[in-house]
Structure 1
Amino acid sequence: MDSFIIANVERLENELFLVVVLYGDDGYIADRVIVPYENAESAVITIAEVAYKVDVWSSDTTLYKAMLEVPGLNGIIKHPDDTSETGRQIEELMQILRQEFERPALPRWRKWLSSLFRRMTRLIEGDGKYEI
């Protein structure tokens, strides 16, 4: 089995993080990187620093488009179920990330309101029906 990367932009409450998980030739996690997300171009540079000339799975279309412009990164668009490991990684490290980036936990009412607005936005945009 060849090594590959799973990379996505994940939301931790109201902040976006780039989550990169490198799997080695043996199929086990060899490395993981979680950094605040700035833009797709800097995210692709971070991915290329983790490993070069590898397959990169992502369910994020913005990252996928940016990877198409970089030689050595074979971007592969996948269903979110196939790339769910990035979500598990950020949930596992949630408390540490809050402390590291000094982000206090959101009050329950703000979490609920934020979740409602994100669901409404997805509904208005067609819930992924018009993406590639």
Structure 2
Amino acid sequence: MLKLIYTENCFYLEHLTLSLEEWVEQRVILALRVGQPLYFEPSTASFLLPVELPGVERLKAEVQQHDAEVMELSVCDAEYLEVTLQGSWLSDSSENAVGVFVTAMSDRTEFFLRKLWQEAQLCASVVNE
């Protein structure tokens, strides 16, 4: 399972070994125990990856073979590829842009997407320095 955590300033992508159902169940139980409202709905999430990132072509092949119903890849411009994921949005209200997006796909694609996202973050931090 992939979990994208959206904050006010950025987002972070994690790979979890729990199934989507197990994680949602634990999250609902936590919200009930602490008295926190929980908003849950089917949704999509998107983020960008540099087109020049080594492994992008391999990701395209993985998506076509295994995960086309969950992930879509679109060229934005000469520099970036948009990754759009189907999944579920969880937050404390329907109006909140801060929350968690979760999705599940093949383990191989999840691992590979996480690795590419980490490499893109490293590239961005090197450019910013």
Q: Same fold (TM over 0.5)?
A: no
Question: TM-score scaled by structure 1?
Answer: 0.24
Name the structure with the higher strand share.
Answer: 2
